[in-house]
Structure 1
Amino acid sequence: MSRNRSFLELCRCFRNDPPKAPDWLELIGLANQTLTTPHLIEIVRQRPDAVPADLAHCVETIFERNSQRNDRLLAQLGEALAALNARGITPVLLKGAAMLAESNRDRRGRRMACDLDLLVRPDEVEEALDCLIPIGYRVHDRSPPDVGKWWLDLGRANDVGMIDLHVSPPGPAFCHGALADLGSHCQRIKVGSGAAQIPSRACQAFILIMHDQFQDHDYWIGATDLRHLLDLRDLASTAGFDWKELASFTVGKLARNALETELTALHELLGVEVPLNMRRRIAPRLQQQRRMLQLRFPRLAPLLLATGLVDLLHYRVEAGSQRTQMEAHTLPRLFPRVDTIRSLLALLREKRASKI
C-alpha cells in the first residue's frame, strides 16, 4: 500500500503537483529505482517551498552530474558517428540516443541514459565494426545465436556508456510491419562532427513502447517503466506531435492493445492529453488497472499473469504470421509453454532498473 501511494505521489511531483507532507525518503528512493531522480529538478525549481532544502540540494547535484555524464555521451556519439560516416554509414538513432541528440542541455540533464542504441543495415555490420574497433571499441556482449533479434554491445574503458548496435527496431518483428521502410520516417541530423538519421517523434514513441511492452515483456507481466513514460511525455509535448501517425504504426490487435495501454498510463499518471479514441477501449484500460492493482498488492502479480490470456489469441495469430513454412503445418499451442511461464514469473521477482 505504501509503495503504491509513493508511486502515485511521485507521479504527482512530475506533474508539478506535490502532495502534502509526503515521505520524501520513500519518494527519492523510488525515483532512484526508476532512474527518474533528475526529473525532480522541475519541482525543485518551480516549487522550492514544497521540497526540503537537503533533498533539493541532492536533486540539483544529481541533475548536474547527470548533465555532465550526458555531455560525455553526446561527445561519444558524435565521434562514433563521424567514424561511421567516413565509410558511408549513417545509422538510425534509437530510444535514448535519439532523445540525447535532439535535446538541449537542460532537457538532456533530466534523462538518465544507459547506452547509445544505433541501427544499421544487416549488410553494414561488418563495416561498422571495422570503423569502431580502430577507435578503441571492443565487443563486450552479443546476442545468442538462437534468438531472433541480433544485437552487439561495444564498449571502451574510458567511456560512460556502451554502443548497442542493432539491425532491426526493438521488439518482435510482427509489431514493426509498418516500419519496414524506417528511413522514410527519419530525417538527417547533425551530432557533433557526425550525422545520423533520427525517426519522427511519433515513430520514436512507437519504438520505445514496443521495446518496453514486448522486448522487456512489460505487457505480459504488468510492469511500468516510469523513466520511459516521462520520455513519452516529452515526445508528446513537442509541437506538432502526430497522434494519427503513432496510431498508424500498429498493424495488429496486440500491438494496438499494448500501445493504448501505455497511452492510458501516460494520461492517468502524468496527465498527458492523449486523444480519447486512443485510451478508451476496454482491453488497454483493464491492462492499466491490472498494473495498478498489482503495484498495490504485489502478491497478486503471479495470479494476474492470467490476464495475458486476453491477448494470447492475438499473439498466436500475429506471431504465427512470421512462422516458417515448416512451422506453418503445426497446430498453434493453446496455452503458453511451461518454460515461458517460468521465465515470466522470474521476471516478476527480479528487480529491474527503471521498472516498477
Structure 2
Amino acid sequence: MLMKPAPNPLDALIAGLCGRVVDQPDWPAIIALANQTLLTPALFASLEQAGRIGDVPGDVRDYLQFIRDCNRERNVRLRLQLEEAVATLNAIGVAPVLLKGAVPLFLSQTVPDRITSDIDLAVAARDEPLAQACLEQLGYVGVPDGRGMARDRDVGVLELRAYRADGLGRPKLVQQGKLSVKIPPAQSRALHWIVHDLLKEGDYWRGRIDLRHMYDLAQLAESEPIDWATLRALLAGRSARNAVEMQLLTLHRFFGTSIPPGCGERLTIRFQHWRRVFASCHPILGAPLRLAGNLFWGARRFSRVHDLARRNPVHLARRIAAVLLNKDLRSKI
C-alpha cells in the first residue's frame, strides 16, 4: 500500500491558520516556517478557536502556547505605548491615523495574537513637526536607520509619517474612552499592504510572499467588505494592476478569499502566481526562479540608483548583494 506523502510545510501551516490539522504533519518544519513568517501565535490561536488544539502533540502545543503568551505580553506593552502616544497627540488637537498592525492593537477588545513589529501612525503633513516634537518630549529619539523613533524601555519602534490620501475614502474618526484616532477604510488598509509588499519591496517581480500580510488581508476581507475591482482600477500601470490580481489569486488559493469573477485568468497573472507558490513550496527547485526574479527586480531599479552609486557606492554594492543573496527577506518566503 502506497503511503500518502506528507504535505509541504507551507500548505500545512496555511491549513493550521484555517483551523485544520493535516495528516502526517511535519511539526518541526511547520513551526520553523511559522516562526519565520511571524505567525506562530496566530497558528495556536486559530487551532484553539477551531477546537483542534487537542490534535496537536503535547510538546508542540506547549511551545505554541508559550510563544502566544509571550507575544500577548508584548502586545499589552505595545498597546500601552500606543495609547500614551495617542493621548499625547490628542492633547495638541491631533487624532492620528492608525496604520497596519496599530489598527487591531487599538480596536481589539482582547489582546490580539498578531505579532506587530512596530507602531505606525500618520498625521497631516502640517501637523508632523509638532507631533514629532511632542513625542520627543516623551523621550523618543530617532533610531539609527532613520525608520522611526524608540525608547529603551519600550518593546517596539514608533513610526510617524505624513498621511497621504489614496482616493479610497477618508479615515473614520473613532473614539475609545478618552482617546481619538482615525481608522482608514478597509480598502485603504488592503491597498497599503499590497503596494508596500508587491511594488515598493518588489515581491511581485521577485516572487516572494509575506505570508503574515497575506493572512492579514484574508482576515480583513472576511471581516469587512472590500471592493477589489475598485482597488485594482485605482492603480496606474499594468504591473500594479497585475500585482493586485496575483495577490488576489494567491489569497483565494491559500485562504479561500472571495475574489471578483474573471480575476487572474490571464496567463501572465497565473504564471506569476504559480511561480511564487512553487518556489515557496519547493525552495531548492525554485531557486533559479527566485534568482531570475531578483535580477529582473534589480534591473528595474537600476535606473533609480545612479545618485546612490555616486554618493555611496559601497552601500549600493551591499544592497545589491543583499537582494541577490536573499539577505533582505526578514519574514518573507
Superposition TM-score, scaled by structure 2 size = 0.83
Structure 2 residue aligned with 1:81: 86
How is 1:296-315 mapped onto 2 (pairs within 5 angstroms)?
Answer: 296=282, 297-300=285-288, 301-305=290-294
Structure 1 residue aligned with 2:160: 165
Residue range with higher mean Cα deviation, 82-91 or 184-193:
184-193
Structure 2 residue aligned with 1:133: 136
Supply the AA of the counterpart residue of 1:43: L
Structure 2 residue aligned with 1:66: 71
Aligned partners of 1:92 and 1:196 also within 8 Å: yes
For structure 2, which runs of at least 5 residues remain unmatched after alignment?
305-315
Counterpart of 1:157 in 2: which secondary structure? coil
Aligned partners of 2:14 and 2:254 also within 8 Å: yes
* CA–CA separation in structure 2 for the residues paired with 1:250 and 1:226: 23
Residue range with higher mean Cα deviation, 118-127 or 156-165:
118-127
Query: Offset at 1:15?
Result: 2.2
Counterpart of 1:68 in 2: which secondary structure? helix
Query: Offset at 1:270?
Result: 1.8
Query: Offset at 1:235?
Result: 0.3
| Cα deviation code 1:74-112 (max 9, x no counterpart) | 221111011112222222111111232223325x12x10
Superposition TM-score, scaled by structure 1 size = 0.78
1:101 aligned to 2:91?
no
Aligned partners of 1:78 and 1:193 also within 8 Å: no
Aligned partners of 1:188 and 1:198 also within 8 Å: yes
For structure 1, which runs of at least 5 residues remain unmatched after alignment?
144-151, 170-178, 321-338
| Cα deviation code 1:25-70 (max 9, x no counterpart) | 1100110011000111221452134311111122122222212211
Supply the AA of the counterpart residue of 1:353: R
Find the partner of 2:96 among 91, 97, 117. 91
* CA–CA separation in structure 2 for the residues paired with 1:24 and 1:229: 22
* CA–CA separation in structure 2 for the residues paired with 1:348 and 1:92: 36
Counterpart of 1:267 in 2: which secondary structure? helix
Supply the AA of the counterpart residue of 2:128: V
1:352 aligned to 2:329?
yes
Find the partner of 1:43 among 30, 41, 47. 47
* CA–CA separation in structure 1 for the residues paired with 2:201 and 2:324: 9
Supply the AA of the counterpart residue of 2:154: D
Supply the AA of the counterpart residue of 1:256: R
Supply the AA of the counterpart residue of 2:94: I
Query: Offset at 1:281?
Result: 3.0
Supply the AA of the counterpart residue of 2:331: S
* CA–CA separation in structure 1 for the residues paired with 2:324 and 2:99: 24
* CA–CA separation in structure 2 for the residues paired with 1:306 and 1:157: 39
Residue range with higher mean Cα deviation, 251-260 or 199-208:
251-260
Query: Offset at 1:308?
Result: 6.2
* CA–CA separation in structure 2 for the residues paired with 1:93 and 1:132: 16
Structure 2 residue aligned with 1:153: 148
Aligned partners of 2:118 and 2:158 also within 8 Å: yes
Query: Offset at 1:224?
Result: 0.4
1:219 aligned to 2:204?
yes
CA change 1:234–1:165 in 2 (3 A) is: same
The number of residue pairs the alignment matches comes to 312
CA change 1:127–1:304 in 2 (3 A) is: closer
How is 1:1-356 mapped onto 2 (pairs within 5 angstroms)?
Answer: 5-41=8-44, 42-45=46-49, 46-105=51-110, 108-109=112-113, 111-141=114-144, 143=146, 152-168=147-163, 179-180=165-166, 184-191=169-176, 193-295=178-280, 296=282, 297-300=285-288, 301-305=290-294, 343=320, 346=323, 348-350=325-327, 352-356=329-333
| Cα deviation code 1:166-222 (max 9, x no counterpart) | 2256xxxxxxxxx4457x431012356432211111210111111111222212211
CA change 1:195–1:37 in 2 (3 A) is: same
* CA–CA separation in structure 2 for the residues paired with 1:351 and 1:308: 13
Supply the AA of the counterpart residue of 1:74: R
- % identical aligned pairs: 33
Residue range with higher mean Cα deviation, 71-80 or 188-197:
188-197
Query: Offset at 1:153?
Result: 0.8
Residue range with higher mean Cα deviation, 67-76 or 228-237:
67-76
Counterpart of 1:275 in 2: which secondary structure? coil
* CA–CA separation in structure 1 for the residues paired with 2:296 and 2:157: 36
Query: Offset at 1:292?
Result: 2.1
Aligned partners of 1:189 and 1:198 also within 8 Å: yes
* CA–CA separation in structure 2 for the residues paired with 1:135 and 1:188: 24
| Cα deviation code 1:310-340 (max 9, x no counterpart) | x97xx99xx99xxxxxxxxxxxxxxxxxx79
Structure 2 residue aligned with 1:323: none
* CA–CA separation in structure 2 for the residues paired with 1:347 and 1:208: 23
Counterpart of 1:113 in 2: which secondary structure? coil
